[in-house]
Structure 1
Amino acid sequence: MANSIYFASTTLHLYVASAIAASRPGEDAHLIFIDQPESKPYPLYDIVRNWPGSPFSSVSLFYGRFPGLFNKLRKRRQLFAALSQKLMQLRPEHIFTGNDRRIEFQFAMHKAKAIGSSAIGHYMDEGVFTYLGRDASSSFSDRIIDNSIKKIIYGLWWKNPPTVGASDWITYVHPAFPELIHPLLRKKRLVPLNAASFNSKAMQSLSESILLKSGIPPESLGAVETFITLPHESIFENEPLYRERIAFIVRQQTELGKAVAVKYHPRNKSPDSLDLSSEGIHLLPAEVSFEALLPYLSSECEILGDLSSTMIMARWLRPDLKVNAFSLDNSSFGILLRTIGISKYT
């Protein structure tokens, strides 16, 4: 049986990788978590290792965020050595990633070729970049400076993608909305993702495990009538009117008698930047993944949020839900959200 490797650095990567792996029964799938802070507990790793319905034959964790420049370079060499051993052991025919800028993926593709495996590269939909592209990829800094430095440090095998998912390493793209992907990705072979794959019993058990680990009884989400997902707190700090608008919306929903739940951005420094707990709403743990919450929301629930990947994922994975944005301008992102059926909250 052919081996395949799936690199995941986010919960979304895990969910998409799991759905794809489950749909490819002719392969032996192996999951590798990457890009996590060194020596910091990573609960998702243990959850997946103990996941009864897992489509993965093995699960590994390779840390990727190291403090200090020289320490980082030394640890990167160790990382490459560990990856080399894994690739020699598995000799994968397919390698999946949610970001082909990740050094782990590019090294794996290079190493696989060097040992005669000739693995095929796959890009898994990660959200915004899939549809709007990554403007920074075409900047002088990325194309010339960053590209040259990485080639000098790591080797000529490093390839600077013109946008995420468009590097020469990628043959197949797995998008949620194939008709809307960035033009550079349309040059690849497309394999549309199937949202139904996320409704399997195995995926539900994964979501349940993630919620319970965060202290959330899954059944409690069924009572939520308005679910608000918030951007990073820097938005509130830089735009005072934004803070007032969110507070107004929360107050408006509670005055309508709605059961409101709010999830802050996981990288916020403050647990309650807007002091919403005083409004009598249900604050969900910021670190819990949005993907794990979605399956347990009632079909009557309304999701409110801003211009982010969570809105795209909500529209795709739960097409039965009403999804509205706080603001919806005529930017490329605003047009994308309108195209997939998201309206402006009024």
Structure 2
Amino acid sequence: MTDRHLFLASTPLIALEAAGAALEQGGRAQLVLLEDFDLASRLAGLLRRWPDRPFEMIHELPGRYTEHQLRAGANRSGLRRALHRVLVKRAIRAQTLSCLEAIEAEFAPGSVWVGNDRKVEAQYALHLAARRLHQRPGRYLDDGLYTYLGRLRQRPLVRRVDWLVKGLSYGRWGQPVAQLGTSRWIDQAWLAFPDQAVDQDPARQRRTLPREWFTSRAFRRLSALAAREFAVDRAVLRQCAVVLVLPHSNLIKADPATSAALVRFIAEAGQGNVRVALKYHPREVDADPAGLLAACGNATALPRLLPMELLLPLLPRGALLAGESSTALLAARWLRPDLQVFDLGVSRSGYARRARAFFQQHGIPTVAGDLGMLRQDHLAGSAAPPGHDASRPLVASLP
């Protein structure tokens, strides 16, 4: 029974980590993909068409995105709107928990892998398996920056009230979780940087998340399949010496100096015949909300919804990747040490400052809005591409 693995994912990152773990662990594996994001259905289809897929079954269950879609169609206001929201959430949750009961009864997993053990669905799957096995079945998969920084606003009273309501609604098996990966069912945590995790409780094993899960031939085939299905021109992408992973355009527009600097940077790259790839924020509606594509004839738009972890294997060696304080930057530095990774430093929030301090420890400098710094190659942690002339500006010398 221990060679049966059930994976629950509510983000693209955890779905991809689950795929890597399932390939590595062997045995039988099933994936539960919660529709908490609008790419969920396409990602499930992509994983089903992957020739190396390790999952015998991929279950798609409704989540926050489903709830949002159902609520959006209701023309209500005030108390009626709030009541409708509660009813929609309860109906979705009842359906999801019922499906998890059926999976538990039929598949009987020996381990349950999750990236967010705060979620009711994850806790219910863990609870069901623990009750049957009489031991802790939980395996926590690295959820990115929150694993190492924790939450900026803990709000313990709000969290306890929330779980009291959930306990009355669904059962007493749930528990409030202050830090991801620390619920009572978790026995192992698979982390990129186990020594730097917030959770250092000796009651849980911390294991190093292998890079090979994301650098194997199987994962590269998944990456190529994703590029084909999302219409990414791989030949063009291989020519992109600069990749910008942008924060939401509202954040860019709120800082006119940074907005102007981005336009200027991209325009100068175009004048130097440097091809630039732009990846706008997944929640953007317009194709070019910050007007950056228009600033450079050599700029290429990458699909907003395609996870950066699937694009990383396709980037050319030595490329410059700059983005805002996010897990994507950490993943880029960890999985592709040959890339030059920078934090744009647009956000001024407390969490962003903490993220940048963590980035510095991993060789990711912050340009703090001064994109001219991206032309320098003397920053600690940056690695110039092969053949780079140290006397020339970085952007101008990229192939």
Q: Tell me the TM-score normalized by structure 1.
A: 0.92
The equivalent residue for 2:179 is 163
- 1:120 and 1:222 mapped to 2: Cα distance? 42
**Aligned counterpart, 1:266:** 282
Equivalence for 2:130: 113
Using the alignment, how far apart are the partners of 2:157 and 2:224 within structure 1?
45
CA distance in 2, matches of 1:182, 1:37: 26
- Preserved contact between residue 232 and residue 265 of structure 1 (Cα < 8 Å): yes
| CA-CA distance at 1:322 after TM superposition | 0.9
Change (3 A) 1:152 1:184: farther
Distance change in 2, residues 1:274/1:147 (3 Å):
same
Q: Which residue of 2 aligns with 1:86?
A: 103
Q: CA deviation at 1:240?
A: 2.9
Equivalent position SS for 2:282: coil
Aligned with 1:98 (options 115, 119, 123):
115
Instruction: Quote the offset at 1:163 in angstroms.
Output: 1.3
Judge conservation of contact 2:356–2:366 (CA < 8 Å) in 1: no
Contact residue 11 and residue 36 of structure 2 kept, 8 A: no
Question: What does 1:185-200 align with in structure 2 at a 5 Å threshold?
Answer: 188-200=204-216
CA distance in 1, matches of 2:36, 2:16: 17
Structure with larger RCO (C-alpha < 8 A, sep 6+): 1
Residue 342 of structure 1 is aligned with which of 364, 379, 390? 364
Match of 1:324 among 342, 347, 359: 342
Query: What do residues 257-278 of structure 1 show as CA deviations (whole Å, max 9, x unaligned)?
Result: 3211100011123221111121
Whether the 8 Å CA contact 1:99–1:165 is kept in 2: the answer is yes
Q: Quick one: which amino acid aligns to residue 191 of structure 2? A: P
Within-5 A mapping of 1:256-295: 256-279=272-295, 280=297, 281-295=299-313
Partner of 2:328: 310
Q: Give, in angstroms, the shift of residue 201 of structure 1.
A: 1.8
Which has the larger displacement, 271-280 or 83-92? 271-280
CA distance in 1, matches of 2:152, 2:185: 20
The 1:226/1:5 distance shift into structure 2, 3 A limit, reads same
Q: Measured at CA, do residues 344 and 116 of structure 1 come closer, stay the same or move farther in structure 2, by a change above 3 Å?
A: closer
Q: CA RMSD in A?
A: 2.2
What's the counterpart of residue 48 of structure 1? 47
Residue pair 2:238, 2:316 contacting (<8 A) in 1 also: yes
- Inter-partner Cα distance in structure 2 for 1:186 and 1:326: 37
**Residue 23 of structure 1 aligns to a residue in which SS?**
helix
Query: Per-residue deviation at 1:79?
Result: 1.4
Native 8 Å contact 1:163 1:184 kept in 2: no
* Deviation, structure 1 residue 302: 0.8
One-letter amino acid matched to 2:46? I
Deviation at 1:41, TM superposition (A): 7.5
Distance in 2 (CA, whole Å) between partners of 1:220 and 1:119 is: 48
Aligned pair in 2 of structure 1 residues 14, 41: CA closer, same or farther (>3 Å)? Answer: closer
In 2, Cα distance between equivalents of 1:273 and 1:113: 48
Shift of 1:35: 3.3
Q: Computing the radius of gyration over CA atoms, which structure comes out larger, 1 or 2?
A: 2
User: 1:173–1:185: 8 Å Cα contact kept in structure 2?
Assistant: no
Query: What are the within-5 Å matches in structure 2 for residues 208-287 of structure 1?
Result: 208-279=224-295, 280=297, 281-287=299-305
Change (3 A) 1:41 1:193: closer
Among 91, 95, 105, the alignment partner of 1:74 is 91
Pair 1:322–1:41, CA change in 2 (3 A): closer
Q: Distance in 1 between matches of 2:228 and 2:200?
A: 40
* Structure 2: unaligned runs, 5 residues or longer: 72-84, 368-372, 374-399
Q: 1:176 aligns with which of 192, 196, 219?
A: 192
1:9 Cα deviation from its structure 2 partner: 1.7
Q: Which amino acid aligns with 2:256?
A: P
SS for the counterpart of 1:29 is strand
> What amino acid maps onto 1:52 in structure 2?
P
CA shift in 2, pair 1:187/1:270, >3 Å: farther
Instruction: Please state whether the residue corresponding to 1:226 is helix, strand or coil.
Output: strand
Cα distance change of structure 1 residues 150 and 241 upon mapping to structure 2, 3 Å threshold: farther
Q: In 1, Cα distance between the equivalents of 2:214 and 2:353?
A: 30
5+ unaligned residues in a row in structure 1: which ranges?
A: none
Looking at structure 2, the residues matched to 70 and 176 of structure 1 have their Cα atoms a distance apart, in angstroms, of: 39
The corresponding residue for 2:355 is 333
3-state DSSP of counterpart to 1:156: coil
CA distance in 2, matches of 1:165, 1:270: 36
- Whole-Å Cα distance in 2 between the matches of residues 89 and 137 of structure 1? 37
Shift of 1:56: 1.6
Q: 46-55 or 110-119, which moves further after superposition?
A: 110-119
Kept in 2: contact 1:95–1:119 (CA 8 A): no
Partners of 2:273 and 2:202 lie apart in 1 by: 46
Is 1:93–1:117's contact at 8 Å kept on the other side of the alignment? Answer: no
Aligned-residue offset at 1:222: 1.0
Moved more, 321-330 or 96-105: 321-330
Q: 1:189 to 1:326 in 2, by over 3 A?
A: same
- Contact preservation (8 Å) 2:8, 2:33: yes
> How far is 1:186 from its partner?
6.9
Counterpart residue number, 1:32:
32
Q: Which moved more, 1:309-318 or 1:179-188?
A: 179-188
The 2-side partners of 1:239 and 1:105 are apart by: 39
Report the secondary structure of 2:25's partner residue. Answer: coil
Q: Aligned residue for 1:4?
A: 5
Deviations 1:49-79 (A, max 9, x none): 1211012222111112323321220221121
